Amino acid sequence: MGRVQISPSILSADFARLGEEIAAVSDTADWAHVDVMDGHFVPNLTLGLPVVESLLKASALPVDCHLMIEDPDRWAPQYAELGAGSVTFHVEAAHAPIRLAREIRHQGARAGMALKPATPVEPYVDLLPELDMLLVMTVEPGFGGQKFLDVVLPKLRRAKAAIGDLDVWLQVDGGVSPETIERCAEAGADVFVAGSAVYSAADPSRAVEHLRELAERVQQ
């Protein structure tokens, strides 16, 4: 089982103060999760390369870019080139996922591939050695604060089994909270994205610690 890592999503933070919002969790979190949405692959629109470039300068945490965009083959390597520590594209949008994962790694970032809730893992099992992380979405991508989809847990277990001894992290994103994180950890996740559970808390840094404690207790 991989080490528990917590990646707070700034989608639920105050967008006028993103640097400070990342700083508020820098002592306890492992990553800053940045959701890039283009208004096409998902209905919502957030931010793109120029804002990520500024966040990379402001953040003491490595940046975990989750690209919910069309044509990631064109855009994802540029996030890696800017210095994002991890770049995740959606397989539903990628034209050539193997080539894309290789390009992301070539630019010096960890390569992540994401599956929407209804996308099966089985067709992509042979791609796992090309990846550093598999993201199994536990809500329909596009918005923060949605209800966790328990229906995805069997896929998470199958993904964990398919990863086996490979050095591939298994990330969950969507509805991860103190109520649901243990279910995710039990099913094999080791990297946990949490937006509203962190940034709606009175003390975001403490919320990260609490999530980590709950997940680590399951792993013991």
Please give the residue ranges that form the binding site for Zn ion (CB under 5 A). 35, 66, 173
193 binds ligand DX5 (CB under 6 A): yes
We find the least distance from the C-beta atom of residue 173 to ligand DX5, in angstroms, to be: 5
Tokens of 99: 């080539």
Closest residue (Cβ) to ligand DX5? Answer: 195
Could you tell which of Zn ion, ligand DX5, none binds residue 119, using a CB distance below 5 to 8 A set by kind?
none
Q: List residues with catalytic annotation.
A: 35, 173
Phi then psi for residue 68, to 5 deg, are -105, 70
Distance, CA of 41 to CA of 55 (rounded, Å): 23
User: Which one among 5, 9, 28, 107 touches ligand DX5, defined by CB under 6 A?
Assistant: 9
Among 77, 85, 97, 175, binds ligand DX5 (CB under 6 A): 175
Q: Which of 11, 22, 36, 94 forms a contact with ligand DX5 (CB under 6 A)?
A: 11
Q: Please say whether the beta carbons of 10 and 18 come within 8 A.
A: yes
Query: Going edge to edge, which strands form the sheet with 133-137?
Result: 5-8, 191-194, 169-173, 133-137, 110-115, 86-90, 63-68, 32-37
Distances (CA, A) of 111 to 14, 29, 44: 28, 20, 24
Question: Shortest approach of Zn ion to residue 126 CB, angstroms?
Answer: 25
Decide if residue 197 touches ligand DX5 (CB under 6 A). Answer: yes
Out of 97, 142, 188, 204, name the contact with ligand DX5 by CB under 6 A. Answer: 142
We find the least distance from the C-beta atom of residue 220 to Zn ion, in angstroms, to be: 27
- The amino acid at residue 140 is E
CA distance 141 to 172: 12
What's the rounded Cα separation, in Å, for the pair 85 and 93?
21
**List 195, 204, 210, 211, residue binding ligand DX5 (CB under 6 A):** 195
Pull the structure tokens for residue 165. Answer: 């001894």
Q: How far apart are CA 30 and CA 211, in angstroms?
A: 12
Q: Which residues bind ligand DX5 (CB under 6 A)?
A: 9, 11-12, 33, 35, 66, 139, 141-142, 144-146, 173-176, 193-197
